[in-house]
Amino acid sequence: MIWRTAEKRMTSTVEYVATIEEVPPRRSEWRRLVRVFWRRKLAVVGLVIVLALIVVAIFGPLIAPYDPYKTNIGNKLAPPSSEHWFGTDAVGRDTLSRVVYGARTSLVVALGAVLLGAVIGQLLGLLAGFFGGWVSHVIMRLIDALMSIPMIVLALVISSVLGGGIKNVIIALAIGGIPGQCRMMCAQTMSVKENDYVLAGRTMGVSNWRIMLRHIYPNAFAPCLVIMTVSLGATILAEAGLSFLGAGINAPAAAWGSMIKDGYKYLLTNPVLSIAPGVFIMLAVFGFNMFGDGLRDALDPRLRGTL
């Protein structure tokens, strides 16, 4: 409140503020972002793949040719044909339909885990970067300890302790995603808090929380967004790994990792059972990685074209 009143007073008394406000910086900034992003062909390919994945995940029931849960023992382990493009699995379920439904599982888990990890990680990073001192020491040592355990192992242990299923896999993978978000937000906060507008806020008596959430967070968020996008791909890979080991999402639910695991037993006779879901994992991860790279280039001109 104090901040707003002060802003108004400044606008009415100092003329040059009004001149600066006449320039619409946001619109041209957006245009620049879109232009840089659009110029990177791979980023556009990534965006197309991500959009296609979202469409498949939302409209799965309309796209899938068969019910992915319906078993048909009489037609088990059928090879690819015009009726079943990717054949059928050990209990006669249509593999293509399960791959389509698997997109939904992957996307829900990845989005859920990345968002949850980002909320916790960014909050911890904001606190560590803003307060520094012992707060930062405690938080960063916790993060270092989390990072000393490989992400997939950490998620595997947590998921097995909690007992599998979509909700628990999301929690397990979110914990694995906390360190990256926390470290990036901490570094960003430490640099953003040196700006004059933060000092101005402090001198006007704005509370720490308000400075953190209103003034630092929005200005420190962009690199975290890039990490979040790339993490979506890494989380899809990790979820597939967990499901492959049987500690993630298991049949009858359709998940790409567990489909590869179940198909592995029939590799010699029906290789498509485990190869097809792998190709889709690759596509999805490629899409998110390229989209994330494009986003980073657009948001950070310094790095443009180097990766």
CA distance 71 to 94: 8
Measured in whole angstroms, the distance separating CA 63 from the mean position of its chain's CA atoms is 25
Task: Write out the two tokens for 84.
Answer: 């079943």
**Residue appearing with tokens 């929690």:** 171
Among candidates 146, 162, 182, 183, which has minimal Cα distance to 242?
Answer: 162
Q: Which long-range contacts (CB under 8 A, 24 or more apart) does 267-272 make?
A: 269/77, 270/77, 270/79, 270/87, 272/79, 272/80, 272/86, 272/87, 272/95
Q: Which of 86, 130, 244, 291 binds other proteins (CB under 8 A)?
A: 244
Neighbours of 164 (CB within 10 A): 18
- Which of 184, 240, 254, 255 touches other proteins (CB under 8 A)? 240
Please say which residue, 44 or 200, places its beta carbon nearer to other proteins.
44
CA–centroid distance for 221 within its chain: 14
- 86 or 217: CB nearest other proteins: 86
Q: Which is nearer to other proteins, 64 or 230 (CB)?
A: 230
CB 289 to other proteins: min, Å: 6
The least distance separating other proteins from the CB of residue 189, rounded to whole angstroms, comes to 21
Q: What angle do CA 132, 137, 141 make, to 5 degrees?
A: 140
Nearer to other proteins, 14 or 145 (CB): 145
| Sole binder of other proteins in the list 13, 19, 203, 306 (CB under 8 A) | 306
User: Residue 152 Cβ, how far from other proteins at the closest point, in Å?
Assistant: 4
CB contact at 8 A, 114 and 235 = yes
Where would I find the H helices in the chain?
Answer: 2-13, 15-22, 25-39, 41-58, 60-63, 95-131, 133-147, 151-162, 165-192, 196-203, 208-210, 217-244, 256-264, 272-299
Residues 279-298 that bind other proteins (CB under 8 A): 281-283, 285-286, 289-290
Closest approach of Cβ 121 to other proteins, in Å? 16
Candidates 1, 7, 103; CA nearest to 51 is 103
- Residue number, 221 or 288, with CB nearest to other proteins: 288
Collapsed DSSP state (helix, strand, coil) of residue 94: strand
User: Could you say which of 8, 21, 275, 301 contacts other proteins (CB under 8 A)?
Assistant: 275
Site string for other proteins, 123-162 (x = CB under 8 A): ------------------xx-xxxxxxxxxx--xx--xx-
Pick between residue 75 and residue 278 the one whose CB is nearest to other proteins.
278
Task: Check binding of 48 to other proteins (CB under 8 A).
Answer: no
| Binding residues vs other proteins (CB under 8 A) | 42, 141-142, 144-153, 156-157, 160-161, 233, 237, 240-241, 244-247, 257, 260, 264, 267-268, 271, 274-275, 278, 281-283, 285-286, 289-290, 303, 305-307
